Structure 1
């Protein structure tokens, strides 16, 4: 039984919403519940279906969803009122993203996201047509030169790259296209987060800059500092980035 009525969020109606899952769905299908791992109150979770206007958060939801197969991100529309969702995990900073709204009513699938913009975060001052190549000093570990160049399909991962990049000047996020094969980045794909929740990749071939994201929001000052401290501890322990 519902403990209290939900409040409709009218100002979100023009936005596009996403839902991440491992279910194989088609336009017109209804999503009636969402079960994600790492949730403290699973019983309460099962009474709602979750959605988000943040594509990166939907990608996390897809990769962490219960079930077999690949994560899928669907474009959805709510069939009833929605409300802001409480935090779904007690994970300490930096937290992974989670779907930020919920509803008691089903979501209707209107499409699927199948093409991804690829990003690279750095401090280098580049322009369209420039190539980002392997061979420069790595941000992680003790390697003097990185054998790969890195890219991601989530803006959040590129934001971390821009904030943690070595060098002077402001962080920059570029839209890039690979000039050769790309593979999952093993440094961000492990047993803790199955799959590739940040959609992070690497390549031995250059990336070509096609544009720049100028309106992006960085993390709170405490988050990059905590990440930098963690990376420094790894360096002191002699833990290197996986470069083979």
Structure 2
């Protein structure tokens, strides 16, 4: 004759099985770590900038909230840095600042492990003013600017993706002004040249979407949030916002 099941043992067995199958019963795993590394350079000389401060923000930063960053590091004598983060797969903002230069900001989404950020080229206030003169644009107070680039994915070849037209939502500021092959604004251009870049000036504080029309190859967002066709970016008064996408040509071309 079979012995009757012990109801307490039966209930305990069911509870153990449920605990194994339900995520809520599992112990919390630690956040997956992530790291960012890259270079900060001088826009004119392309030399690395020693002593620049790089900060990671999980909330949109402002000039008065820079000290509230979750992580900050200083570049070495080559302009290189590495920021170790507590958690991967985050949307956030990376700021780069150094005395004598205009602060730069880029929207980023972290992956897992080590993620290399494209070089951030800082410009001096004098050169910043010169850009306005070259575009026949009068500076407007309490505004920022946006610098965009469509890369071909080949470092230092000085050739990027031409024939891309950009537009901003909401419409604001002056531009876009596309850069010629000499890296200076070409006021007659309506699309990117082989330089692949351009700028928009006098943008009020806020979040914008930069749309790229004319993309052919599959492209990735390197600096910014969203998709390559529509990149979201934050503009801060007195700062330069970096937006960069990469459209590598298929091998063999």
Same fold (TM over 0.5): no
More strand by share: 2
Report the TM-score when normalising by structure 2. Answer: 0.26
Report the TM-score when normalising by structure 1. Answer: 0.26
